[in-house]
Structure 1
Amino acid sequence: MIEEILAPGVVTEETFSDDSASPLFPEELALVASAVPKRRNEFTTTRGCARKALGSLGFPPAPLLTGERGAPIWPDGVVGSMTHCDGYRAAVVAHQSDFLALGIDAEPAGPLPDGVLDAIARPEELVRLKDLADTREEVCWDRILFSAKESVYKTWFPVTRQWLGFEDASIDIDPDTGAFRARLLVSAETFGPRTEFHGRWMLRDGLVLTAISHPR
């Protein structure tokens, strides 16, 4: 499903249930040793998706650990992203020679909890959300906005190693094409002073999915 909103050349693996047959390496077990069962299941299944995706690129099974701010540590020469929410887990990878970064996010297709929108949306985004609601009021545009910002952060941080707040990206969602544009309001040498990320979104089977395939 998520492959529909990613660029050619990106390898995807997804599942809609947890896979107890995907064992963790000891180093990974240590990361979730004190986690509750729900968190451990999410971690295990998502790592299983990532290993399958990496296998399609020719990489043997290996531990996938976490680095700064919890970002996955991918093998040399690989960029990737993982996501999970209730009823969905996914991982995507690609050759670093083809893509500078990838970012994906999955969310339940329902309105954001009270107070979250005010915390994550810029003033101009609130205006855009109102206009979007006037066209298709049944769509949870606030959740799509949140998910797009999560995908932006997952694209930004592994490359820059710099924090990016919700207020540091202005998202413009196209309701007709399933695309979104993120204008970055901060700069980094890697991406340049006037950075834009272009991504895609989909709404299906009770899920919101967003994805960015940032080319090299």
Structure 2
Amino acid sequence: MIEELLPESVVTVETHGDEGFQDAPLYPEEEARVARAVPKRRREFTAVRACARRAMEKLGVPPQPILPGAHGAPTWPAGLIGSMTHCDGYCAAALARATDLASLGIDAEPHAPLPDGVLRSVSLPAERERLTRLTARLPAVHWDRLLFSAKESVYKAWFPLTGKWLDFSEADIELFADPGDETRGGLRARLLVPGPVVDGERLDTFEGRWTVRRGLVATAITVPHP
């Protein structure tokens, strides 16, 4: 599912359900991070790292610990960039060489409406107006959840480039459905704060893709080198 949202330079590994990933071994450094975690958190932490290590192997990089860094963002081996996501019944990791992409972010969520009150807290008035129009035209998609997922992917791509927090209100996201297909499309995020400088060029927009499949919504942002 995630791989269709990303360029060929990105390696992805995903799992629907458990598939044994939740029992994969952890490195001692990782074990220490979840020693007191509740079982659900431990299973997700383990499974998504198993996905990431398989992606490392596909890139020819020896598997190694993936520790949470600042604000929980994963710390990748030198020369790699990547992103991970997990929700009930699904885990995925996407990795690429830093020479191929500047950054990327992925996110998956259950394809269901957001809880009451959440949309207003995570969206801008202009975004809500666009969602109203999209819902009237393509009601099978839970656009509020899709917007939330897109915000998460934008942040995951933003943070490695800046080391700074990005509030929900600091990116204005527009969603598009592919012509004749309401199960996938594109997205564009206009940054409302000074964007990251990549290879000497300041970026003011991020672009990506989304899909709805198997009861999930997934989004991905890729930041190419200028």
Q: Which residue of 1 aligns with 2:79?
A: 77
Q: Which residue of 1 aligns with 2:182?
A: none
Question: For the structure 1 residues 32 and 210, does the alpha-carbon distance in structure 2 shift closer, same or farther, using more than 3 Å as the test?
Answer: same
Q: Which residue of 2 aligns with 1:16?
A: 16
Tell me the distance in 2 between the aligned counterparts of 1:212 and 1:189: 14
Q: Can you list the C-alpha shifts for 1:58-110, whole angstroms capped at 9, x where unaligned?
A: 11121111110000000000000000000100000000001000100000000
Q: Which moved more, 1:179-188 or 1:72-81?
A: 179-188
TM-score, structure 1 as length reference? 0.97
2:55 to 39, 47, 53: 53
Unaligned runs of 5+ in 2: 180-184
Please report the RMSD computed on the Cα atoms of aligned residues, expressed in angstroms: 1.1
2:29 to 21, 27, 30: 27
Unaligned runs of 5+ in 1: none
Question: For the structure 1 residues 194 and 93, does the alpha-carbon distance in structure 2 shift closer, same or farther, using more than 3 Å as the test?
Answer: closer
Q: Which residue of 1 aligns with 2:46?
A: 44
Tell me the distance in 1 between the aligned counterparts of 2:107 and 2:196: 25
Deviation at 1:138, TM superposition (A): 2.1
1:186–1:193: 8 Å Cα contact kept in structure 2?
Answer: no
Q: Which residue of 1 aligns with 2:155?
A: 153
1:84–1:105: 8 Å Cα contact kept in structure 2?
Answer: yes
In structure 2, give the amino acid aligned to 1:16: H
In structure 1, give the amino acid aligned to 2:186: A
Tell me the distance in 2 between the aligned counterparts of 1:194 and 1:5: 21
Deviation at 1:195, TM superposition (A): 1.1
How do 1:48-127 and structure 2 match up within 5 A? 48-127=50-129
Deviation at 1:180, TM superposition (A): 0.4
Q: Can you list the C-alpha shifts for 1:11-49, whole angstroms capped at 9, x where unaligned?
A: 000001232441100100001111000000000000000
**Aligned pairs, number:** 216
Q: Which runs of 4+ in 1 moved over 4 A?
A: 191-194
Report the identity percentage: 56
Question: For the structure 1 residues 188 and 172, does the alpha-carbon distance in structure 2 shift closer, same or farther, using more than 3 Å as the test?
Answer: closer
